[in-house]
Amino acid sequence: MGSQWGADRFYKKAVSEGYRSRAAYKLRDIQNRFNIIRSDDNIIDLGAAPGSWMQVLRELTAGKIIGIDLNPIASIEGTQAITGDFTTDAVQQKITSMVHEVNVVVCDASPKLSGQKSYDQARAVALSEEALLFAIKVLKPGGNFVVKSFQGEMFNELLELARENFYSVRVYRSRAARRGSSEAYIIAKNFKGITNVA
């Protein structure tokens, strides 16, 4: 019951405040605690649909905001959206043509869940790793990265890769997460600017 109550509370708040999903409050919570976004940052949001993080980002920065998702993202004023796979060369080249400098990459994406816990966790961590590899490619030195993942067998490997490439790495569970969830965010700040990928 507690989990459902939490979902209802944040869902109702999102509706009343005009956000597309309750996930908006996870990003607000992360920003309040870690100050990952500055007022002029250019930001890429991976797995951005339906767009609630893009809505929050638009409130936090005057820089460019580009959202990428396999599904179309309904228009949000002052942002740009790409429908496609962020791991492909075509999408990455398109981003390069749209923004000359990327200060922050965020990713709240999740794979479609099968209900098999270990399998779903492995797929979620693999997706998070793809997001991290993308961030390493596009971020300027000193940039920040936030990614959702799920704590399981492969989580520590993902964390270690983040630590190799950023000076400050923390793991954080948002207060807006559903109770009982193994969801956690990796908050990686101050990109070293040297590609440390095995």
The model's pLDDT over 43-82, given as tens digits with 9 standing for 90+, comes to 999 999 999 999 999 999 999 999 999 999 999 999 999 9
pLDDT computed for residue 188 by the predictor: 98
Can you spell out the DSSP letters for 76-107?
-TT-EEEES-TTSHHHHHHHHHH-S-EEEEEE
To the query of whether residue 26 is one of the catalytic residues in this protein, the response is no
| Catalytic member of 26, 64, 148, 189 | 148
Q: pTM for the full model?
A: 0.88
Place of tokens 């440390």: 196
Q: Pairing relation of β-strands 183-191 and 166-172?
A: antiparallel
Residues in a beta bridge with 65: 43
Closest CA to 58 of 34, 83, 31: 31
**Could you tell me where the beta strands, DSSP code E, fall in the chain?**
43-46, 65-69, 80-83, 102-107, 139-150, 166-172, 183-191
* Interval 3-38: pLDDT, tens: 443 455 655 565 555 565 778 889 999 999 999 999
pLDDT computed for residue 3 by the predictor: 40
Which residues does 163 contact at the CB level (< 8 Å), separation at least 6?
A: 169
Going from the N-terminus, what domains does the chain have, and what CATH number goes with each?
2-191 (3.40.50.150)
